[in-house]
Chains A and B, each alone.
Chain A
Amino acid sequence: MSFLQPWLLWALPIAGLPILIHLINQRRYRTVEWGAMQFLLAANQMSRGFARVRQWLILAMRVLAIAGLLFAISRPLASGWLGLAAGSKTDTTVVLLDCSPSMQRQEAGVSKLDTARRHLADVLSTLSSNRWVLIDSASETPLELEASTDLLESPHATGVSASADLPAMMQSLYDYIKANNPGHTEVWIASDLRESDWQSDSGRWTSLREALLEFPQEVRFHLLNYGDNAANPNSPPNLSVRVTEARRVEVGSDAELLVSVLVTRDAEGPDDLQKISLPIQFEVDGARTQMRVELSGVRFELKDQRIPLAGGAVRGWGRVSLPADINPADDNAYFVFDKPAPRRTVVIADNADTVRPLSLAASIAPDAAACPSDAFAPDALQTLAWEELALVLWTSDIPTGKTADALRAYVDRGGQVMFFPSKEPTSRQFLGVGWEAWQPLARPATPDNWRGDQDLLANTASGASLPVGRWEVSRSCSLAGEFNTLASLPEGKPLLARVPTNAGGVYFLATTVSPSDSTLAADGVVLYVAMQRAIEAGLAVLGDARSQSAGTPLPATGEPWLRRAGDPSPHDEEALSTSYAYRQGVYSSGEKLLAINRPVAEDQTLQAPSEQVQQLFTGLDFDQVDTSPGADSTLVQEVWRIFLGAMMLAMALEAGISLPRVPQQVQAFAPRVGSPRGAPPRALEEVA
């Protein structure tokens, strides 16, 4: 049992007042000399047992009545798990709201997100707080609300197409608490516990937890779990669509669009893996075509679906749609097309011959497109057209001065650069990371750990991992600075590292392609894939038609971005321009086209195990409740009426028990000589 006004419970000893009064009354008896003792003794003896029970019953009822009143005015709550949330005066209530596409899955016509918002609005309107703060998964920026009910109306609390980054949201929470130093803080997290959103393996959790533990004030966490394990298991399967590739090809004098589509079915519910006939609608520049596919497994991939382009259109946009299902957030996928930009790569080296494997790996395109790869000396970069480059491979000493500035500008606009150690590393650094010294190994080592879930060494689309473990490294160069390790040698020595950036990619490979240093060139598959991925990432920012995942900031342009197409906003509201980056659709800015889609991670239905999530909050004041979308029940309910009823019942019982028993009237003892009322008294002589 928990209470909204628990301090009133300090008054509970008042419930003992009837007992005290009774005891005082017992002490405050009057003494009377009595003659008719025989009746008194008889009555006292007869009543002793029952009277005592009755007396205690009356006292108990009085105590219960007062206690009931006190409990009622203390505003008890029905949800036991909420006990920690209620009870003490909250200074700040922070809501971490997962607005990712998976939270838009519906149950009984209501999405998890809407249910969460309603639940939170109900709960928080019950619990008092001086300040309400919303940290939504899209902006990850603390936003103060006027009242808890603003959650139902705030555009920041609506669904978006971007994944949630719970560690980043927690970091934002930490920063907010640190900056504002509030008092007792209650943190409410509403999420469906998707692993892609929670990243429970991330090392950031540990540091965050430790940092939060250091706060002097009380910070309590309440997790509302809207995960599928808490949802209705009989809900129909959800289908999602994604455009894996859209490229324009010219066939003779005509132009066609080759669109590859991936349809995924989540493997839940009784309809699992039943063959279904599915209509897929293609829309290109407003023209719609439809085809029907048979989906018999979990995934269906349609490769290079040919769509003729009217009038040989050079640039444009399109949409692939599925029939609406339980999650409308993944029923559309958007793409843009344009003439592909050249896959231009440049190798910066003191000696171009030593980096031939790099040039080769960069110049062989997977689709036979032109892949020019040039080699430049570090002191001959004045004429380098940075704006045309997809990838820069830097094998000489780290640049300084204007060259370093130019390279930073290239990275800031989304360019990719990969550093290789020079023969004699210096203390120079790029973005805070630099080489230290070569470290020969006693015997060739192979990478024992690498990130297969993302970045350059991520697993293939089929799920197979790259043969990174076949690399043999004879000599590696140690790194200094702050970076994320993508692959490491035994003893944790970094082999491939990525420097965190706002845009673009900066990689450090701790060995070279020289046979004396590694087998990177000999086992060229991994090197080739990594290079092509880097080039793809670099190409994404080249040309006028680009695609990106929701959540990535919109590229900087001279003109504002306009929304050309997209998923309908919740409640049919006009999407705010500030939220374009988080909502999938097609946007244009001048000549530039941009397609924004759900991140690939959103198609992974894996949930973070509850136990693991609890471990993330080890040491913190944390509780979790599983709920389900569409649930009508509120998470918290005041039950003071029950106590008031109990109080009234106790009072009625007390009154009933206290009622003096109808005294057995003593029959008229003595006849009175007198007149009836109102009659004049008779004279004594008359009587005589």
Chain B
Amino acid sequence: MLARLASVPLFARRPMHGNVSGKHRSPHRGSSVEFAEYRKYVPGDDLRRLHWRALARTGRQYVKEFEADTNLRCCFVVDTSGSMRFGSGYEGGLSKIDYARRLAGALGYLAVQQGDAVGLTCVSDTVVTSIPARRNPAHLRHVFDTLEKAKPAGGTRLVPVLHELAETIRQRALVVIVSDFFVQPDELRECFEHFRFRNHDLAAFHLLDQQELEFDFKRPMRFVDLEGGTSILAEPTEIASLYHKALQSYLTAIKQAVLETGVDYHAVQVDEPYDKALMRFLVGRTQRVGVR
């Protein structure tokens, strides 16, 4: 599966800073194969970059600027709050945390394979684990171990943690958030804007279980909150319609937020094979950036 996925490279959608030339564009323009733009010559510029033909034709002095390719810093933010433990097992589906592990693990592997650095942050009501981004395969093993040991528990403090991360990730990076996003859409929008403001390339995997979408219970149920432990007794048939209404309203707000903030958003049902979800993600990025 990874071999098949590896045929589709992982691209960042924004130029990346890096100290190693790679597949990813760098915002630092320099002598590179890839032309960026012309600008007026100012004294002090390297005359080697002067566009002589333009000077000859127009008499004006322009300097060619090139984009430099760089390596990708890929930071995975995995939500390990209690709600991620949920999994109905619908059509052999995984729990949300298992799905998140696989997604993050596979993407991390692919990133390291193509020479990009991979970091991991596990979030619940606190930052459970934070691993800085590195490129070596040994580091990948550490990431895998951390993912494996991540135990979903506690409430969701995704929003403050994301704000914190947006500030702490210094260089431009591809930030991949894997979560069920059970937070207020407005607050989430602010987070996304924060990341955009910090010039990070933000991708979001929104994981939901089939049962969370369908809410097809037929009998009275006692629902125990995975995050707070509180419980309510409900007649699902009575409230299904209202549940769907509230859920739809939430999803609409989330989609509106990601549209407005330009987040690479991927809604994923955990009964969907994760390689397909990854393929969608990778292909989507390829189409946006353009395969070179």
Give A residues with C-beta under 8 Å from B.
25-26, 28-44, 46-47, 51, 54-55, 660-667, 669-674, 684-685, 687-688
Known: A28-B219, A673-B277. 16 other contacts (CB 8 A): A25-B219, A30-B221, A33-B85, A34-B86, A35-B226, A38-B182, A39-B243, A40-B232, A43-B242, A47-B242, A660-B240, A663-B240, A666-B213, A666-B244, A666-B247, A667-B251
In the complex the two chains form, what is the Cα distance from A674 to B224 in whole Å?
35
Q: Residues of A contacting B243 with CB < 8 Å? A: 39-40, 42-43
Q: Nearest chain B CB to A572's CB is how many angstroms away?
A: 73
Q: Residues of B contacting A32 with CB < 8 Å? A: 217, 221-224
Q: Which residue of B lies closest to A25 (CB)?
A: B220
**Residues 238 to 260 of chain B near chain A (Cβ within 8 Å):** 238-248, 250-251
Contact between chains at A685 and B250 (CB < 8 Å): no
Q: List 14 A-B contacts (CB under 8 A).
A: A29-B221, A29-B222, A33-B85, A36-B208, A37-B223, A43-B242, A44-B239, A51-B239, A666-B244, A667-B248, A669-B208, A669-B213, A671-B280, A672-B272
Contact between chains at B279 and A687 (CB < 8 Å): yes
In the complex the two chains form, what is the Cα distance from A666 to B231 in whole Å?
25
Contact between chains at A51 and B219 (CB < 8 Å): no
B292 within 8 A of A: no
Contact between chains at A35 and B212 (CB < 8 Å): yes
Q: Residues of A contacting B238 with CB < 8 Å? A: 47, 51, 54-55
Q: Which one of B228, B232, B283 contacts A44 once the chains associate, using CB atoms below 8 Å?
A: B232
B33 within 8 A of A: no
Contact between chains at A29 and B233 (CB < 8 Å): yes
Shortest 8 CB-CB contacts between residues of A and residues of B: A35-B83, A43-B242, A35-B86, A43-B243, A34-B223, A43-B239, A29-B220, A51-B238
Knowing A43-B245, A670-B269, A684-B7, say if A37 contacts B227 (CB, 8 Å): yes
Chain B 1-42: CB-based contact to A (< 8 A → 1; otherwise 0): 000100110000000000000000000000000000000000
Q: Residues of A contacting B245 with CB < 8 Å? A: 43, 664
Q: Which one of A25, A33, A36, A51 contacts B247 once the chains associate, using CB atoms below 8 Å?
A: A36
Q: Residues of A contacting B214 with CB < 8 Å? A: 666
B237 within 8 A of A: yes
Contact between chains at B234 and A36 (CB < 8 Å): no
The DSSP consensus for interface residues of chain A is mixed
Q: Residues of B contacting A673 with CB < 8 Å? A: 276-277, 279-280
In the complex the two chains form, what is the Cα distance from A669 to B277 in whole Å?
13
Q: Residues of A contacting B223 with CB < 8 Å? A: 32-34, 37, 40
Q: Which residue of B lies closest to A52 (CB)?
A: B238
Q: Which residue of A lies closest to B220 (CB)?
A: A29
Q: Residues of B contacting A38 with CB < 8 Å? A: 182, 246, 250
B167 within 8 A of A: no
Contact between chains at A33 and B226 (CB < 8 Å): yes
Q: Which one of B85, B242, B251 contacts A35 once the chains associate, using CB atoms below 8 Å?
A: B85
Q: How many A-B residue pairs have CB under 8 A?
A: 155
In the complex the two chains form, what is the Cα distance from A44 to B232 in whole Å?
9
Q: How many interface residues does B have (CB within 8 Å)?
A: 59
Give B residues with C-beta under 8 Å from A.
4, 7-8, 82-86, 96, 180, 182, 208-209, 212-214, 217, 219-228, 230-235, 237-248, 250-251, 266-269, 272, 276-277, 279-280, 282-283, 286
Q: Residues of A contacting B228 with CB < 8 Å? A: 37
In the complex the two chains form, what is the Cα distance from A180 to B8 in whole Å?
107
Q: Which residue of A lies closest to B230 (CB)?
A: A37
Q: Which one of A33, A42, A661, A687 contacts B283 once the chains associate, using CB atoms below 8 Å?
A: A687
Q: Nearest chain B CB to A243's CB is how many angstroms away?
A: 89
Q: Nearest chain A CB to B51's CB is how many angstroms away?
A: 37
Q: Residues of A contacting B219 with CB < 8 Å? A: 25, 28-30
Q: Residues of A contacting B276 with CB < 8 Å? A: 672-674
Q: Nearest chain B CB to A532's CB is how many angstroms away?
A: 98
In the complex the two chains form, what is the Cα distance from A386 to B267 in whole Å?
130
In the complex the two chains form, what is the Cα distance from A30 to B4 in whole Å?
42
Q: Which residue of A lies closest to B245 (CB)?
A: A664
Q: Residues of B contacting A41 with CB < 8 Å? A: 232
Contact between chains at A35 and B283 (CB < 8 Å): no
Contact between chains at A35 and B222 (CB < 8 Å): no
Q: Which residue of B lies closest to A31 (CB)?
A: B222
Q: Residues of A contacting B222 with CB < 8 Å? A: 29-32
Q: Residues of B contacting A660 with CB < 8 Å? A: 237, 240-241
In the complex the two chains form, what is the Cα distance from A630 to B225 in whole Å?
77
Contact between chains at A55 and B235 (CB < 8 Å): yes
In the complex the two chains form, what is the Cα distance from A665 to B215 in whole Å?
11
Q: Which one of A39, A51, A684, A687 contacts B246 once the chains associate, using CB atoms below 8 Å?
A: A39
In the complex the two chains form, what is the Cα distance from A684 to B241 in whole Å?
38
Q: Nearest chain A CB to B261's CB is how many angstroms away?
A: 19
Knowing A47-B238, A684-B7, say if A35 contacts B84 (CB, 8 Å): yes
Knowing A673-B279, A688-B283, say if A31 contacts B242 (CB, 8 Å): no
Q: Nearest chain B CB to A670's CB is how many angstroms away?
A: 4
In the complex the two chains form, what is the Cα distance from A673 to B277 in whole Å?
8
Q: Which residue of B lies closest to A41 (CB)?
A: B232
In the complex the two chains form, what is the Cα distance from A666 to B216 in whole Å?
12
Q: Residues of A contacting B244 with CB < 8 Å? A: 663-666
Q: Residues of A contacting B221 with CB < 8 Å? A: 29-32
Q: Residues of B contacting A51 with CB < 8 Å? A: 235, 238-239
Q: Nearest chain A CB to B155's CB is how many angstroms away?
A: 10
In the complex the two chains form, what is the Cα distance from A100 to B239 in whole Å?
75
Q: Nearest chain B CB to A682's CB is how many angstroms away?
A: 10
